[in-house]
């Protein structure tokens, strides 16, 4: 592969996913438990002396949280405010500040709000102290690792934040056996990570560092713990399954302040719930151990954009493309995204694993020949580009800086570590303010010959209202049987096992905060977008009326969220919640055991 070819591919396409998936944490937008919690100014709010006692217990790691937005409230037109909003496009800056979240809010749903205090936890004992303090003093407790929750579940005003960012150790194990499983489970390669680690750093340790692969998230600044607890998809999930299915063991602090080891042999019910039951509901995970896999020889990318010359030609394009996907691409080699847009374009942003360039091109050849045979109807607005490269270079900053420097962005703060890189395609999500976000599992039965035309019509109708995307890696139809079986043993909605893709329709604006002149949400624009997004999803639900939704990428206003997120697994999750948190210390918006706030 020539360097120029790789550079072109990496710059123009997204070598990486279009969406940063995340896990759920306690939310500022959930009214559950209401007056149970004390607030500053209440007579029973903890005294300064009580807070000082907590500070001593955590060895001075208690922080009084101050929002960096105060410089904008003081002088919204000043240079300090302008610099802050520039910094809000750097996910590492956001992640390293206890007052900030990677999404700044959601129209009519929630706004990013700093806690009163935060325990900057560095060890499990810090988390135990924070949990006990919150329970005994009736202080609202929230947890944040990566802070990527779209649902606003990693922040709440008037709360105590357990901030796990500094609990980020990463250890490679050649022969890991879960505690209590000696003689019952064979040793296997694994990686043990602290709850505050992000996927980019874990990938760098496992793949360039150890020559292995671990299934995690696609957006690499997402926190490991939250993603695993909510299921977790990466670009190569069609081959390696759910991140949650790769969990071998977790250390978790439960509501009573106990430190528990959860694995297949110890606390197996809690272990199952942590595999997709949603973060923030069952305890504070402090450490996870994930199995690692043999690394494929190659990863690669296919991208391009086809423009149809008329609405009729665009409508006629969709069924052949879907049939091609079903016949040639719905297998462990392929993942990522296609976009159906209202300008009659079909955008391809797909990744592959285990194929060289010639094999990848062969998989696409029938469809490419079909397009070439209809020059009056179709043209390549962005030429098809197919690339393969050594898998061990993926996530390696040295590799990308040499071969494709524009594919990644770097943490531009002075003195930032060289490994702090992130995909250029994810920059738009840093600090974004959501107008609407909808998702739906699309069952593979829609690709049968008798139902495929209706699916194509639904996608056409949806694209007239808003850009509609299919994330093929976020659905396990076509995955190896052992990965489907492993996913079946998680708390995820079983609909994911039979879905060929997750349909996502969403819209957002730049970072926005109430009361910051020049940077406030635009409710008129936002509502207009939300209406169109909801109308677009309604077209897809005509052919998939019972489709569930992915908890990490879903509608804040989801009505039947218990069924939508977990399906038949919800009653079991609710029982486990009652066992480990009977008083409801941990709650999140639309989380297990939480009454809807609507």
227: its two tokens = 């993603």
Q: Which residue has the higher pLDDT, 401 or 462?
A: 462
- Reported as a single tens digit per residue, the pLDDT across 304-343 is 999 999 999 999 999 999 999 999 999 999 999 999 999 9
- Reported as a single tens digit per residue, the pLDDT across 91-131 is 999 999 999 999 999 999 999 999 999 999 999 999 999 99
pLDDT of residue 1: 43
**Out of 18-27, 78-87, 193-202, 229-238, which region has the weakest mean confidence (pLDDT)?**
18-27
pLDDT of residue 250: 98
pLDDT at 287 over 70: yes
Q: How confident is the model at residue 25 (pLDDT cuts 50, 70, 90)?
A: very low
Average pLDDT estimate for 497-507: 98
Q: Which residue has the higher pLDDT, 18 or 278?
A: 278
Instruction: Identify the three-state secondary structure at position 361.
Output: helix
120 near 163, Cβ under 8 Å? Answer: yes
Q: How confident is the model at residue 21 (pLDDT cuts 50, 70, 90)?
A: very low
- Reported as a single tens digit per residue, the pLDDT across 376-407 is 999 999 999 999 999 999 999 999 888 888 88
pLDDT at 5 over 50: no
pLDDT of residue 3: 42
pLDDT at 174 over 90: yes
Residues whose CB is less than 8 angstroms from the CB of residue 2 and which lie 6 or more positions away in sequence, other chains included = none
pLDDT of residue 32: 45
pLDDT of residue 403: 81
What value does the mean pLDDT of the chain take? 93
pLDDT of residue 406: 86
Domains and CATH numbers, the chain: 170-295 (3.30.465.10)
* pTM, 2 dp: 0.94
380 near 306, Cβ under 8 Å? Answer: yes
pLDDT of residue 171: 98
Sign (positive or negative) of CA dihedral 119, 120, 121, 126: negative
97 near 68, Cβ under 8 Å? Answer: yes
149 near 103, Cβ under 8 Å? Answer: yes
Q: How confident is the model at residue 36 (pLDDT cuts 50, 70, 90)?
A: confident
- Tell me the C-alpha distance between 435 and 106, whole Å: 6
Q: Which of 103, 95, 130, 127 is nearest to 116 (CA)?
A: 130
Average pLDDT estimate for 185-200: 97
Q: Which long-range contacts (CB under 8 A, 24 or more apart) does 83-86 make?
A: 85/431, 85/511, 85/519
Average pLDDT estimate for 551-567: 96
Average pLDDT estimate for 484-488: 98
Q: How confident is the model at residue 16 (pLDDT cuts 50, 70, 90)?
A: very low
- Reported as a single tens digit per residue, the pLDDT across 66-79 is 999 999 999 999 99
Average pLDDT estimate for 465-491: 98
Cα of 4 vs its chain's centroid, Å: 31
* CA-angle at 142, arms to 140 and 147, nearest 5°: 155
pLDDT of residue 35: 59
Residues whose CB is less than 8 angstroms from the CB of residue 102 and which lie 6 or more positions away in sequence, other chains included = 20, 22, 91, 94, 95, 146, 147, 148, 149, 221, 429, 430, 431
Average pLDDT estimate for 471-497: 98
pLDDT of residue 20: 58
**Out of 13-27, 266-280, 350-364, which region has the weakest mean confidence (pLDDT)?**
13-27
Average pLDDT estimate for 165-192: 97
* CA-angle at 595, arms to 490 and 558, nearest 5°: 70
pLDDT at 463 over 80: yes
pLDDT of residue 31: 40
- Tell me the C-alpha distance between 190 and 196, whole Å: 18
> How much of the chain, in percent, has pLDDT values that exceed 90?
91
């Amino acid at each position: 592969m020539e360097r120029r070819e790789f550079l072109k591919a990496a710059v123009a396409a997204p070598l990486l996913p279009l969406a940063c998936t995340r896990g759920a944490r306690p939310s500022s937008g959930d009214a559950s438990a209401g007056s149970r919690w004390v607030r500053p100014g209440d007579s029973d709010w903890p005294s300064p002396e009580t807070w000082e006692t907590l500070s001593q217990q955590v060895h001075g790691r208690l922080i009084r949280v101050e929002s960096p937005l105060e410089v904008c409230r003081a002088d919204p037109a000043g240079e300090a405010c302008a610099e802050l909003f520039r910094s809000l496009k750097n996910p590492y800056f956001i992640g390293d500040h206890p007052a900030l979240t990677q999404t700044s809010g959601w129209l009519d749903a929630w706004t990013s709000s700093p806690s009163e205090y935060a325990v900057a936890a560095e060890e499990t004992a810090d988390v135990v102290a924070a949990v006990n303090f919150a329970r005994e003093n009736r202080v609202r407790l929230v947890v944040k690792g990566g802070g990527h929750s779209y649902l606003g579940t990693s922040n709440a005003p008037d709360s105590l934040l357990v901030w796990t960012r500094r609990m980020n150790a990463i250890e490679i194990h050649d022969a890991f056996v879960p505690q209590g499983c000696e003689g019952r489970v064979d040793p296997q390669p694994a990686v043990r990570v602290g709850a505050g680690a992000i996927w980019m750093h874990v990938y760098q340790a496992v793949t360039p560092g150890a020559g292995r692969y671990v299934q995690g998230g696609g957006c690499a600044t997402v926190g490991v713990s939250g993603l695993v607890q909510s299921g977790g998809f990466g670009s190569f999930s069609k081959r390696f399954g759910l991140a949650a299915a790769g969990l071998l063991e977790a250390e978790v602090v439960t509501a009573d302040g106990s430190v528990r080891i959860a694995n297949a042999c110890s606390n197996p019910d809690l272990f199952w719930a942590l595999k997709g039951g949603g973060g923030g509901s069952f305890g504070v995970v402090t450490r996870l151990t994930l199995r690692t896999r043999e690394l494929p020889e190659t990863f690669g990318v296919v991208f391009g954009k086809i423009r149809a010359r008329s609405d009729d030609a665009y409508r006629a394009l969709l069924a052949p493309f879907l049939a091609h996907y079903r016949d040639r691409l719905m297998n462990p080699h392929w993942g990522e995204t296609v976009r159906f847009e209202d300008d009659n374009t079909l955008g391809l942003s797909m990744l592959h694993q285990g194929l060289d360039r010639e094999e990848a091109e062969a998989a696409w050849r029938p469809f490419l020949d079909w397009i070439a045979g209809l020059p009056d109807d179709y043209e390549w607005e962005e030429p098809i580009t197919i690339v393969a490269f050594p898998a061990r270079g993926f996530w390696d900053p040295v590799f990308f800086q040499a071969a494709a420097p524009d594919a990644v962005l770097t943490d531009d703060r002075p003195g930032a570590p060289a490994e702090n890189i992130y995909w250029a395609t994810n920059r738009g999500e840093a600090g974004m303010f959501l107008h609407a976000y909808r998702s739906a599992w699309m069952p593979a039965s829609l690709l049968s010959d008798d139902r495929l035309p209706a699916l194509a019509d639904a996608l056409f109708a949806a694209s007239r209202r808003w850009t509609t995307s299919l994330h093929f890696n976020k659905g396990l139809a076509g995955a190896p049987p052992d990965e489907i079986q492993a996913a079946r043993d998680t708390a995820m909605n079983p609909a994911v096992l039979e879905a060929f893709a997750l349909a996502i329709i969403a819209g957002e604006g730049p970072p926005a905060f109430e009361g910051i002149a020049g940077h406030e949400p635009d409710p008129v624009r936002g509502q207009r977008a939300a209406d169109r997004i909801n109308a677009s999803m309604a077209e897809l639900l005509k052919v998939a009326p019972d489709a569930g939704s992915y908890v990490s990428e879903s509608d804040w206003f989801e009505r039947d969220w218990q069924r939508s997120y977990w399906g038949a697994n919800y009653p079991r999750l609710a029982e486990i919640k009652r066992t480990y948190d009977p008083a409801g210390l941990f709650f999140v918006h639309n989380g297990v055991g939480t009454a809807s706030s609507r």
